[in-house]
Amino acid sequence: MNLNKVLHVGWWTIEFRGGGAIIHVETLMEYLKESGIENSYFCGGRYNLLYPKPYIKKWEKKYATIYELVNSPNLIWSFGNPQVHISNIDIEECFQRVIKEVKPDLIHFHELESLTGSLLELTRRLKIPHIVDVHNYWYLCPQRDLLDTNRKVCTDYNNGIKCATCKVLPSSTKIGWMFVGYIKNTCLGKLIDKKIIRKFYLRRIIHENQTSPSFDQKIVPLYEKRRKFFISELNKAMAIIYPSKRSLDIYSSYGVKNPNSYILLPLNKNYEIIKQKQNYKQIDIIRFGYIGSIIPNKGIDVLIDAFNYLKESHNKCKLYIYGAGEEVYIEKLKKKVSSSNIIFKGKYLPSQINEILDTIDVAIVPSLWEDCSPIVLNELKLSKTPIIGSRIGGIEEAIKHGITGYLFKPGDAKDLAFYMKCILDNPDIINKMMERNDFSFDRYNYIEQIKSIYGKALKSLLSKII
């Protein structure tokens, strides 16, 4: 069997939303196109409230044909109906129409948020080789991050009861996603007052994480069924790609024991433009920095608390926070600030990464969740920027404690402040940490590894047919 056409499956495109998984799949499709593979992309997307049913909107990008599922019955960040995560006939029918048109040699699943799990089952029934790229913990956790209401890593879902009561991530509305997809960047969208839009657009649960005081007991078995379904399907996939050993170990601990498992770091075109820093020139101010999304699970509040603890050293350091997020949440963070040396720099473009890195002497990655492998970690490693990171998820694998950076206890602002103080008291250590040479990126080697995994999946199916 030859490999000429790959159908990728995920959630939305870079035109409408950012995020590591979306950046990864778009970069992968571009690289595969250059290597001679034809890409198609079936993805959840916008909402058109003028039309009541799901439908496919087909459009072209330079490296892929997009089959966007408009009006998906599985509304992103909607957790009240786990059954639609498992199966939905409308989504399946749309997917089958795409398969019939594309006739893919292989299907590469990236994300099923806003889609449905039975697409895995359907692909097996159609005897199409398929692999799964794991980017988070959605297959185990409807909230995606294995982070509970108290912002602690969830280790016991209590046979579905905890899932039924947990409410951590944002809820969302169809009118919100319609605004994002069709109106936001128009003249009308720019004229609409943000305070009005906020009532409808991605209503976020950010002030306090919540639990539902009461819930329908009938829904509990569905959450248990959901997890068992995905563990079973992942074990039947022809291959699974994980972004870190830690993410593989977590899935394995829940029963995903697929023998054809691989670890490949997530892709980002920025890896090719990152410049290595020159030696740190000691100055009066050490510049700490955060780069990424401004959302609760990233632990920015912990970072601000840590900086506040360094009150006596504020004349020797600054903290730059780069990234965008919900305005209400950012305002809540700003209220915690006790020093003018904490500076929110706002949204940035990927092309500005080298400019940003030039303003940071030591980067901080304070995630609270088992962050699989944040793209920013590899950008920092390529630039040789020292990193202070949470001892959690794939972050721990990216840092050699005391050599290329420091690891601190997740959520512990005092522990983070201790290591920031270590650097403030001994700035010369920055140059020693910049001597790292433990990461490089070769796009051609990466694509060869992907193609090798594809080839093994094709052979696996062929051997079963024979």
| Residue 438, in any domain of the structure | no
Find all residues with CB under 8 Å of 50, minimum gap 6, and list them: none
Look at residue 177 in the predicted model and tell me its pLDDT.
74
CA 286 remoteness from chain centre = 30
Whether 439 is in a domain gets the answer: no
Same domain, 236 and 319: no
Of 83-97, 336-350, 435-449, the range with the highest mean pLDDT is: 83-97
Task: Report the first-to-last Cα separation within the chain, whole angstroms.
Answer: 12
158-162, 166-170, 202-206, 316-320 — which one is most confidently predicted on average?
316-320
* Domain count within the chain: 2
Distance CA 297, CA 152 (A): 10
Dihedral, 270, 276, 280, 286 alpha carbons, nearest 10: 10
Do 318 and 224 lie in a common domain?
A: no
Is residue 357 pLDDT above 90, yes or no? yes
Q: Which two structure tokens, joined as six digits, stand for 209?
A: 């994480």
Determine the average pLDDT of the residues in 444-455. Answer: 96
On whether the CB atoms of residues 68 and 47 are closer than 8 A, the answer is no
Whether residues 423 and 455 fall in one domain: no
263/274 same-domain check: no
How far is Cα 90 from Cα 144, in angstroms, rounded to an integer?
23
pLDDT in the model for residue 41: 98
Establish if 88 belongs to a structural domain: yes
Pair 243, 100 in one domain: yes
Residue in the block written with tokens 């094709």: 458
Is residue 159 a part of any domain in this protein? yes
| Same domain assignment for residues 449 and 333 | no
Question: What pLDDT is stored for residue 194 in this prediction?
Answer: 57
Instruction: Give the pLDDT confidence score for residue 214 in this predicted structure.
Output: 62
Question: What are the phi and psi torsion angles at 277 (to 5°)?
Answer: -75, 150
Q: Which of 94, 77, 85, 95 is nearest to 19 (CA)?
A: 77
**Beta-bridge partner residues of 59:** 66
Which residue did the predictor score with more confidence, 164 or 66? 66
For residues 264 and 393, give the distance between their C-alpha atoms in angstroms, rounded to a whole number.
Answer: 15
Q: Please give the structure tokens belonging to residue 306.
A: 């840590």
Instruction: Quote the pLDDT of residue 164.
Output: 86
Mean pLDDT, rounded, for 419-433: 95
Interval 216-242 mean pLDDT: 94
Encoded tokens for 178 = 């319609």
Range of the domain at 350: 270-433
Q: Tell me: the pLDDT tens digits for 124-154?
A: 999 999 999 999 999 999 989 998 888 889 9
Phi, psi (deg, nearest 5) at residue 55: -155, 165
> 243 and 295: one domain?
no
In a domain, 202, yes or no: yes
CATH at residue 70: 3.40.50.2000
User: Within this chain, do residues 289 and 259 fall inside the same structural domain, yes or no?
Assistant: no
Strand partners, 241: 133, 262
Place 310 in a pLDDT band, splitting at 50, 70 and 90: very high
3-state helix, strand, coil in the chain (%, to 5): 40, 15, 40
List of E strands, 158-218? 166-167, 210-211
Find all residues with CB under 8 Å of 12, minimum gap 6, and list them: 22, 43, 44, 45, 68, 114
Q: What are phi and psi of 203, to 5 degrees?
A: -55, 115
Place of tokens 């040789």: 384
Tell me the sheet residues that pair with 58.
Answer: 67
pLDDT for residue 221: 93
336: tokens are: 């915690």
Residues 284 and 146 in one domain: no
- Residues 293, 232, single domain; the answer is no
Residues 158 and 209 occupy one common structural domain = yes
Q: Which residues pair with 242 in a beta bridge?
A: 263
Torsion over CA: 153, 247, 460, 123 (sign): positive
Q: What is the pLDDT of residue 464?
A: 58
- In a domain, residue 33? The reply is yes
Confidence of residue 204 (pLDDT cuts 50, 70, 90): very low
Q: Are 222 and 80 in contact (CB under 8 A)?
A: no
Would you say 184 and 167 are in contact if contact means Cβ atoms under 8 Å apart? no
- Residue 329 within a domain: yes
Q: Which residue has the higher pLDDT, 225 or 281?
A: 225
Number of residues in the chain:
466
Residues 304 and 226 in one domain: no
pLDDT of residue 203: 46
For residue 324, tell me if it sits in a domain: yes
